Amino acid sequence: MARVPAAARKILSAVRKAPHALTRQYAGRRSHPSVELVHPAHPWTRALGLVAVVLLGAWLGLLIVGNVRVPVGPMNTTMTLRPSLTGGTKINVSPLGALELDSHHAPVRLDVNVDQLDPERSQALVDHPERLSGLQDEVASDVEHGTLDLAVRSCVAVVAGATALGLAVYRRPRRALAAGGLALTLLAASGGTAYATWNPESVLEPKFSGLLSSAPSLVGNARSIVTEFDVYQKELARLVTNVTKLYDVTSTLPAYQPDPTTIRVLHVSDIHLNPASWKIIASLVEQYRVNVIVDSGDTMDHGTAAENGFLDPIPDLGAPYVWVRGNHDSLTTQRYMEGLKRVHVLDDGKAETVAGLRFAGMGDPQFTPDRSTNPGTDASEEAAGARLAAALRAQRAAGTPVDIAIAHEPSAAREVDGEVPMILSGHLHHQEMEVLKKGTRLRVEGSTGGSGLRAVEGKYPDPIEASILYLDRDTRRLQAWDEIRLGGLGLTTAEVSRHLPQDNQPGATPSPTTSSTGSPSASPTTSASASPQASPTGSP
């Protein structure tokens, strides 16, 4: 490059100190062939550029060298830190699937890949079963050392990646070192956030995917849930012990062994004429050894007599079927259901004992196949709920208290608060669980039909949702529930999330009961969404 004359250097210096208008003036009137007038970058632009370099370099560093291979008990695992918007922990158990834990909230996620079982260490446990008593401590120690090693390696990877990329971009050692220092600061802040938000109880509510969707069946019955999870509730390492058991049964995946003291209720709702729902329900009944199916309404779409043949598979589902009318089910639908074997139709507060549980229900006062609305909808729903509450009080006074009530619309269900341990509803097409002010637990089921034909109306198909409720046969108290979520039309994903009521978690003291059936246990509440309105009741 030609040497810049002294006069040109003076001009360049003056231009850099002048306003932007003066810069254009000099650029137009006194340019030199070997002088290029460059405006210095705005400080914010430089800062954003540095942050982008740091983030990209840190991610590349973690991707290349930010993982460690750790023997955990009889297993070989790979532990990795990954950038994430939500944080958490993901345990990949190939080829079974994965377990996701809401363990922390930070911009980094811990990935644990269970690579394989070590034959020698596994055989040693078989030959010397007395070593099982110390396996938990061994696993905890292995994970502790692995996590420490991962933290050190991640620091080196992040700093090295950001520094190397900073040097490549800026070609200035000071800027490169600044990038490395900023990367270390960000990693330390992320680690501090993860530590501050760490939730060891997240192992109590894992989310399963792939073949591990059947994991709740393999873990054990509802009575032993607390015992099983108490083994590894303190830290992630204790969950690895259970993963070892899962590996041991990969070839057979044994069927669920029912506990005779536990009642399993399959809650479905809003099938909306989806014929695939019957096969899914039958499969769940067999897999979970379901004692009774509860359908909280909207089985039909228009409630016409022509649709009645859709209901014929119900007697062959493998369990008694308890049903209440939804706002898309007509009285014609209800009369046809009453003629089917193994079907128990509940309306006007009628109560029946099925599979050891006493149910009472109220049909929806609305009939809205055309999705029309009416200002009096809320009032009619609340009036129906009040009639159901009165029927529940009458049952209790007669010495036959109801264990579970059913009403399609959540606004009607809320009227029975304090009169029954639990009430099941639907209508909203998504799952919710809430403990109302007076102690009644409200369970809102999603659409077991994936919203029926409406699944194709949106950008993405609606998921197919159902729940398994585990109740103690003696107290009728809810012990746990599994939320089942299957990919909608054309999708093949499956997730099962296990949840425990607050008073059934390890170390908790059960709440006092309000009746002989036992009150619902306390759990964090969620606000219910506003229910869509419907039109007045009409005859089919």
CA distance 194 to 143: 17
* 328: helix, strand or coil: coil
DSSP string, 447-506: -TTTTGGGGGTSSSPPPEEEEEEEEETTT--EEEEEEEEE--TT---EEEEEE--GGGST
DSSP string, 91-159: EEETTTEEEEE----SSEEEEEEEEEE-HHHHHHHHH-GGGGGGHHHHHHHHHHHHHHHHHHHHHHHHH
Q: Which of 112, 42, 106 is nearest to 71 (CA)?
A: 112
pLDDT of residue 255: 36
Is residue 47 a contact partner of residue 36, using CB atoms and an 8 Å limit? Answer: no
CA distance 330 to 336: 10
CA distance 162 to 182: 9
CA distance 110 to 493: 23
Rg (CA), the chain: 31
pLDDT of residue 126: 56
Sheet strand arrangement including 357-362: 351-354, 357-362, 404-407, 422-425, 441-444, 432-435
Amino acid at 295: D
The number of beta carbons lying within 10 Å of the beta carbon of residue 97 is 19
For the chain, 540 residues long, give each residue's pLDDT as a single digit of tens.
Answer: 444 445 445 543 543 444 444 334 444 444 444 444 455 556 777 778 778 888 887 778 777 776 788 787 677 888 888 778 888 888 777 656 677 878 788 888 888 887 776 667 666 665 665 555 565 566 667 777 777 888 888 888 888 888 888 788 878 788 778 888 888 888 888 878 878 887 766 666 667 766 555 545 444 444 344 444 343 333 333 344 444 444 444 333 333 344 667 999 999 999 998 888 898 898 889 888 899 999 999 999 888 888 899 999 999 999 999 999 999 999 999 999 999 999 999 999 999 999 999 999 999 999 887 545 455 678 899 999 999 999 999 999 999 999 999 999 999 999 999 999 999 999 999 999 999 999 999 999 999 988 665 555 555 667 889 999 999 998 999 988 988 888 655 445 667 787 888 766 655 554 433 333 333 333 333 322 333 233 333 333
CA distance 488 to 12: 66
The tokens 């590894």 sit on which residue?
A: 232
pLDDT of residue 34: 46
Is residue 114 a contact partner of residue 77, using CB atoms and an 8 Å limit? Answer: yes
CA distance 68 to 509: 41
DSSP β-bridge partners for residue 481: 469, 499
Q: What are phi and psi of 425, to 5 degrees?
A: -150, -175
Q: Which of 249, 247, 237, 242 is nearest to 225 (CA)?
A: 242
Pull the structure tokens for residue 86. 């939500």
DSSP string, 15-47: HHHS-HHHHHHHHHHS--TT----PPPPHHHHH
pLDDT of residue 439: 94
pLDDT of residue 321: 98
Q: Is the pTM of this model over 0.75?
A: no
DSSP string, 341-365: TTEEE--TT-EEEETTEEEEEE--S
pLDDT of residue 521: 34
CA distance 184 to 177: 11
CA distance 413 to 385: 6
Is residue 444 a contact partner of residue 314, using CB atoms and an 8 Å limit? Answer: no
Alpha carbon distances (Å) from 149 to 192, 298, 408, 489, 502 = 17, 55, 54, 44, 35
**First and final C-alpha spacing in the chain:** 91
Alpha carbon distances (Å) from 180 to 161, 188, 266, 338 = 8, 12, 55, 72
pLDDT of residue 336: 96
CA distance 74 to 91: 16
CA distance 530 to 414: 12
pLDDT of residue 298: 93
The number of beta carbons lying within 10 Å of the beta carbon of residue 398 is 9
**Domain map (residue ranges) of the chain:** 43-214, 223-370+377-504
Distance of CA 146 to the CA centre of its chain: 28
Pull the structure tokens for residue 374. 């009416």
pLDDT of residue 335: 96
CA distance 536 to 534: 7
CATH topology of domain 223-370+377-504: Purple Acid Phosphatase; chain A, domain 2 (3.60.21)
Q: What are phi and psi of 499, to 5 degrees?
A: -130, 145
* 264: helix, strand or coil: strand
Q: What are phi and psi of 433, to 5 degrees?
A: -140, 125
CA distance 525 to 528: 9
CA distance 23 to 52: 30
Pull the structure tokens for residue 520. 């619902």
Is residue 70 a contact partner of residue 77, using CB atoms and an 8 Å limit? Answer: yes
Distance of CA 74 to the CA centre of its chain: 30
Cα angle 94, 487, 104; round to 5: 60
* 49: helix, strand or coil: helix
